[in-house]
Amino acid sequence: MAALRQAGHLTVAGAAKRFGAATVLDDLSIAVAKGEFVSLLGPSGCGKTTLLRCIAGLLRPDSGRITVAGRDITTLPAHKRNVGVVFQNYALFPHLTVAENIGFGLRAQGIRPAEAAPRIAEALALVRMSEHAGKPVTALSGGQQQRVAVARALVVRPSLLLLDEPFSALDRKLRETMQVELKHLLREVGITAIFVTHDQEEALVVSDRIAVMNAGRIEQLADPATLYGRPASLYVLDFVGQSTRLAGRVSAGGGGLVSVETALGPVRAPGAFAPGSRVVVAVRPEAVTPGAASPAEGLNRIEARVREVSFLGSRTQLHLDLPEEGEDRGVVELARLPEGIGPGSPVTLSFREEDTMLFPAA
Ligand code: ATP
């Protein structure tokens, strides 16, 4: 698999793109394996759509190379790239039926109706829209239009599928359903897909791997569990999931574990930092247990105060009052709120040293 990834079905090597004085893609490289589903995740303006448009052929990078299946497509016009694109607004033709929308690309390729019909039927079945074939697309719900857009992109059998925030127009519940549906569908089809989103939960749900982008570069490219469990930087930690964070200063190193003084007490964590280094200590919400667990080997304990409690149904979040407002913050997630804990309560929090992450202070 490693070799396959190195080779890459899709590779972008050293892509740069400037708009005026702004560098939007900054020497960006990525390799995506055949059949892989990779999300580009990042805040608004980090260059996700620009990268997607370069891959689609809708934009030409200023420098760098893009290949698909070993073929250099950097300067190839969009319509010759054999790349399917699903846009944010679906871009369906309102005056055409569902089947006509799906068949549009086949007609444009000069494929005869007799050959197109079974392919359209297959694409309709794939997205479970067969019974809607004759309807005008304007008569469909948002989720159904979304399915038609995916079918229309897949029917031409592209070697690559690009999706630009395809669920942003859908309500939360439908979006969650469609995410799982899309992931399942693309796995069945076995197509390589690049998916743009600024929603970290969406990226975690759909992707084989996620590329977290920051100012035109890829900050970390990893599978969801690695990204969440071992973020490469504070930027990734912040962008993916929640955490309790504390500023601290390393008091002693050695043995692969370093000791850090924080305003809420000393903690130990795996890492390699010199004594005196300023660091940020971070722990994921679900790694923390409340209550006065007695001191134990391998366990950190800090004393904090609860600011607010948020009930989320399957879990409850404690928002902590931390000493330096703004820089420090804390969210702890519990399956159940312990007896007697509410806004203003003091709380002892325990978490394993091995679950404690350290980052250089910004
Ligand atoms: P969003 O989630 O908001 O779509 P994004 O990460 O996809 O953000 P891009 O759309 O790639 O970001 O845009 C990155 C930057 O490039 C933005 O500052 C944007 O204003 C700028 N930009 C994009 N296209 C052009 C263009 N054609 N001309 C000038 N500036 C552009």
Total Cβ atoms within 10 A of residue 59: 18
Per-residue pLDDT tens digits of the chain, which is 362 residues long: 344 344 579 999 999 999 999 999 999 999 999 999 999 999 999 999 999 999 999 999 999 999 999 999 999 999 889 899 998 877 889 899 999 999 998 888 889 999 999 999 988 988 888 999 999 999 998 888 988 999 999 898 898 999 999 888 788 888 888 899 889 888 888 899 999 999 999 999 999 999 999 999 999 999 999 999 999 999 999 899 888 888 899 998 876 899 999 988 899 999 999 999 999 999 998 898 887 667 778 899 988 889 999 998 888 988 888 766 555 567 888 877 888 889 999 988 899 999 999 999 87
pLDDT score of 263? 85
Provide the residue ranges of all domains of the chain, joining segments of one domain with +: 2-238, 243-360
Pocket residue to mutate for ligand 1, from 25, 28, 39, 44, most atoms within 8 A of Cβ: 44
Q: What class has domain 2-238?
A: alpha beta
pLDDT score of 292? 64
Beta carbon of 300 within 6 Å of any ligand 1 atom: no
Beta carbon of 53 within 6 Å of any ligand 1 atom: no
Beta carbon of 197 within 6 Å of any ligand 1 atom: no
Sheet holding 244-252, edge to edge: 265-270, 257-262, 244-252, 278-283, 357-360
Sign of CA dihedral 175, 177, 178, 179: positive
Question: Whole-angstrom Cα distance, residue 103 to residue 80?
Answer: 18
- Bridge partners of 193, per DSSP, are 37, 161
pLDDT score of 7? 56
pLDDT score of 335? 77
Backbone angles phi, psi at 101, to 5 degrees: -60, -45
Residue 121 tokens, joined: 């039927």
C-alpha 47 to ligand 1 mean position (Å): 6
Task: Collapse the DSSP code of 163 into the 3-class scheme (helix H, G, I; strand E, B; otherwise coil) and give the result.
Answer: strand
Q: Ligand 1: which atom is nearest the Cα of residue 40? A: 6
Pocket residue to mutate for ligand 1, from 17, 18, 50, 198, most atoms within 8 A of Cβ: 50
Question: How far from the centroid of its chain's Cα atoms is residue 127's Cα?
Answer: 23
User: Which superfamily does 243-360 belong to?
Assistant: Nucleic acid-binding proteins (2.40.50.140)
Closest residue by Cα to residue 33 from 13, 7, 53, 55: 7
Q: Ligand 1: which atom is nearest the Cα of residue 51? A: 11
pLDDT score of 6? 42
Element (H, E) at 50: helix 48-56
Contacts of 181 (CB under 8 A, 6+ apart): none
pLDDT score of 36? 95
